[in-house]
Structure formats: structure tokens, C-alpha cells
Amino acid sequence: MIKDIKIYNKKKFWSGVLSLSLVLMSIVILFLKPKSFDLKGFFITLFLLLIGISDISRSINLKDTKKDEQEDDERKYLIELKASSSAFTISQYLLYILFL
């Protein structure tokens, strides 16, 4: 019996579902038009398949979800830090210009 699956990160889960639906559409198009096969499309489909599976598996695993949220928090902190540093540098240059 399949146990209940809890989705911890809904955004990542739906991203995975979207990727897998694009893979399914690509496979359907391939079967409808067999002459439309190209190597570039194959690699894009394979890449989307791997991303979709990875996103869904990470969204239903609590430990991976917490790790993703921590990395996202660190990324936001770094962006805020760079923005404040840039604002400080710009205001410093403006003060130098006004002083002159």
C-alpha cells in the first residue's frame, strides 16, 4: 500500500509537474511526427525529464526542502548585502561630488 505523500515545497513540486508535462508533450509530438526527431530536442527533453524528477523528489523530501529553503535564505541575504553595499558606494560618490 502506498503511504501518504506530503508535499513540503509546493512551488518546486509544480515546477516539476510542469517539466514532466513538457516532456510528455514532446514525446507525443515525436510519435505524431516521427520525422521531427532531432538530437537537440532529445537532449532538451532528457534535461527536462531529469529536472522534473529532481524537483518532485526534492519537494516531497523534508530534509531536501529545508536545505533548499536555507540556501534560498542565504541567497536573499547575499543579494540584500550587495544592494546595500552598492547603495552605500553610490551615496559615497554623490557626497564626494557634492563636496567638490
pLDDT of residue 83: 80
The DSSP output letter for 8 is S
pLDDT in tens, 22-65: 999 998 988 888 787 788 888 999 999 999 999 999 898 888 88
Q: Is the pLDDT of residue 2 over 60?
A: no
The overall pTM is greater than 0.85: no
Give the gyration radius of the chain's Cα atoms. 23
pLDDT in tens, 61-99: 888 888 877 777 777 888 887 888 888 888 888 888 888
Count Cβ atoms within 10 A of the Cβ of residue 48 and give its class: 0-12 exposed, 13-18 middle, 19 or more buried: buried
In the chain, where are the structural domains located? 7-60, 62-100
